[in-house]
Amino acid sequence: MDYCGDFIELLGPDISTKILMNLVNPSDLIRVSLVSSSWHQFVIENGLGKQLCLKLFPEISGIVHTIEMNNLIDTVGHKQNDCDELECLRKNHRIYTLLAQAFNPFVRKDCISEAVIASSTDNYPEESIHNTLEPFDRIDTRASYWSSEGQNNPAVPETLLYKLMTKMCIVTEIHVQPFQAYFQYNFPIYSSKAVRFRMGHKLQSEMTDSSTSSNKWADDEFIWTYTSPEFPMVQENCLQKFKLPEPVLCIGGYMQVELLGRVQRQEMDGLYYIWEVCFEVLARNRETYTFFTTTYTGNGASSRFRTFTARLLQRGTRGWEQMLLNTLLQARAGRANDADNEPPPASP
């Protein structure tokens, strides 16, 4: 059989790149890079991992500068020669392919893992924030909702804090359902006038215990890297859907809900309240990799080897994820400190 030559050599780099960019699975690009050393070099030198990652998830384009300028694995230092530049390309390839593999392409609704704390609660624990994790306003014969404390001033806001399933996810939409008091006269709806969402991460390693009934608020323990516009709420007992202007990369795994303005006054005490049934966060979460091993009764060594390999792969994936997360958080904190230290503009 005649030698037909290398695929990339025959088609040329431009056409080869266009063909490879039609891949929809990051794992396929990894398989391409394993065909031969020349294909591996072609994928890395042309930044195909980065191109595919940004094509699949354009929302992460905002952290490209952080990835490339902070050199996520700092073993090279300055780019003094071609070897250093190639090593940097290899590192970026590993980071971008990890990112592309990490995010689930399917949007999930069950992205809240924990209701942490509310700025106020009227009757704890019967009306606690933990009730908002249930999608129904009644459980058996009991009403299920969160209630704020009553206020004379309808402009007093409330805030609820939630922990998300993963520390890195792409949030696209948030759902909120106010509570209709079916046990009160005229069935009033205790909704806020508007809602706003913040996403970010903890500033300290420890925070207030979410199980406490004192509801001590510690907003200064968090850094909010994203704040949404205000969304007006309809005074109806239905699941209200708020799509963010553009998908948001949440780094840190926390979301704060700001409930702005009160509408309904309670007849028995004349105070304004906000009651909410549930919250849902729609996001593409970081994938949780599970490695399955098959037990062979006739070959115990093979089974142990597969288990050992799976553990190494799992440990390596977690290490890269944590390294990436720590670097992004440090970079954002550094930019925040630079902004704080910047001198104010001179008065005209």
CA gap 177, 238 in Å, rounded: 6
Please state the rounded mean pLDDT for residues 55-70: 67
Mean pLDDT taken over the chain? 77
Provide mean pLDDT across the span 291-312: 40
Least confident of 37-41, 115-119, 287-291: 287-291
Percent of the chain at pLDDT > 70 equals: 67
What DSSP string runs through 164-207? ESSSEEEEEEEEEEEPB-TTSTT--B--EEEEEEEEEEESSS--
Q: What is the pLDDT of residue 234?
A: 95
Find tokens 């191109």 and name the residue. Answer: 51
Q: What is the pLDDT of residue 307?
A: 45
pLDDT of residue 317 exceeding 60, the answer is no
Tell me, what DSSP letter sits at residue 230?
A: P
User: Per-residue confidence at 341, pLDDT binned at 50, 70, 90?
Assistant: low
76: amino acid identity, one letter:
V
Query: What is the pLDDT at residue 127?
Result: 96
Residue-wise pLDDT for 153-183, tens only, equals: 999 999 999 999 888 888 999 999 999 999 9
Between helices 82-102 and 37-45, what is the axis angle to 10°? 90
Q: Over 70: is that where the pLDDT of 215 sits?
A: no
Is the C-alpha dihedral spanning 23, 27, 31, 32 positive or negative? positive
**Residue 339 phi, psi (nearest 5):** -70, -40
Q: What's the CA gap between 303 and 321, in Å, rounded?
A: 27
